[in-house]
Structure 1
Amino acid sequence: MPPVFSHGDLRLYVLNLLDDGPRHGYDIIQALADRTGGTYTPSAGTIYPRLAKLEEEGMVTKSVDGRKTVYEITEAGRAEVAARREDLAGIEAGLADSVRLIADEVRGSVRDAMRSLRADLAAAGAEQRTAPDERTDDVRTRSREQLQRADAAVNDFRGRVRADLRTHVARGGELSENLVDDLVAGLDDIAREVTRALAD
């Protein structure tokens, strides 16, 4: 996957985040992770030198709040953000593309898993048809084992997605209607595929 931010874009995007209000370094790191859908989580070694450079340029000031250093944009920083709105719109579009790419990859992984499940179910069905007298107890045992495995997989998926969504919203990230629509449609597709595979 190509870099999320091109040369110079991260500097401008950090300024844009500070234009929304003062932030400490860790808050900036979290905001970047949230707004890129988890595709980019910069290290402290990436963010703090850029903040120091912005301070040298007179674009931000810093103050100490307890044990945290808080950065605030200056008028010069606001002027640069205002002058580069078109550049920021391009950066935002690139971030949206990155999030869509991740969603596409997740959908692809789900489709691959469904193909594998269908193949397993078809093989089990063929085995049942070829050995009807020997299969009853073995099939029930294997089916119960696979049911437990399927339950665990569904619960794990539900837990991970729910945690990601709740964390994203709790951190102030936007949860778009399109993303939720895609999620619902993808889950509906999976449910239909499972029903169809079980009916074969």
Structure 2
Amino acid sequence: MTPPVFAHGNLRLYLLALLEEQPRHGYELIQALSDRFGGTYSPSAGTIYPRLAKLEEEGLVTKRTDGRKSVYEITDAGRAELESRRHELDAIEDDVTDSVRRLAEGVRAEVDSAMRTLRAELANAAREARKAASTEPATPQPTAESTRAMHEADLAITEFRQQLRLELRNQANRGRVNGDTVTLLRTRLADVRTEVLQELARS
């Protein structure tokens, strides 16, 4: 289903805009749309090809064969329609930018949450180590070492979060942050947390 950003006739207009940039295969149009939305929206072939056929019937695009693929090109009539509705296209682009920004904010929130959880686990482990050290006849060295390691771990987490947030923001502005990014992030952070806790349990 087409997302709300594409009101009636807007996807048709956006396809014309993509073909104005360069001739494309149907799959290339699907990929271009997915890229523009940072992976938050990827239309199906059943959504794209009927609209291309309608545009061809109306004389707004032409189709030629390139091997086994069909290449679509915008016509002068298509350019004229696009130019007459340029203000509508600008509004659609603004909505696309907002969509990508919302996704990037969601990813940053996931990073912050995961980092806070990991930091809390490390702090708790440090407290347990200090508690254990205080009840055993041992030298002060283990407590100092644990405190120093906790400080270094905290710095590493902060540096990681800052660098990743900056890179995510840059990539989101280019439309490169998508749902796969979030899935990968969650998986890898969960793996890191598990490995750290296992290492602490062995210590």
Alignment correspondent of 2:47 = 46
1:91 and 2:92 matched: yes
1:25–1:134 Cα change, 3 Å: farther
Q: How does 1:150-161 map to 2 (within 5 A)?
A: none
| Distance in 2 of aligned mates of 1:72 and 1:96 | 26
Aligned residues of 1:59 and 1:74 also touching (Cα < 8 A): yes
The SS at the match of 1:64 is: strand
Q: Deviations over 1:149-177 (max 9, x none)?
A: x9xxx8xxx8xx89xx6xx9xxxxx839x
Distance 2:42 2:93 in 1: 16
| TM-score, normalisation: structure 1 | 0.66
Aligned amino acid, residue 127 of structure 2:
A
CA distance in 2, matches of 1:175, 1:36: 10
CA distance in 2, matches of 1:134, 1:101: 54
* Matching residue's letter, 2:102: L
1:77-118 per-position Cα deviation (integer Å, ceiling 9, x unaligned): 111100011000000000000111111001100110111012
Moved over 6 A (4+): none
List gaps (5 residues or longer) in structure 1.
169-173, 177-200
Asked if 1:114 corresponds to 2:138, the answer is no
Q: Could you tell which deviates more after superposition, 58-67 or 3-12? A: 3-12
**Bigger CA radius of gyration:** 2
Instruction: State how 1:1-200 maps to structure 2 within 5 Å.
Output: 3-132=4-133, 133=136, 175=174
Cα distance in 2 for partners of 1:32, 1:113 equals 31
Post-superposition shift, 1:134?
9.6
SS of the counterpart of 1:38?
A: coil
Instruction: Report the CA distance between 1:39 and its aligned residue.
Output: 1.3
Q: CA deviation at 1:122?
A: 1.7
RMSD: 3.0
Q: Which runs of 5+ in 2 are unaligned?
A: 176-203
Q: TM-score, normalised by structure 2?
A: 0.65
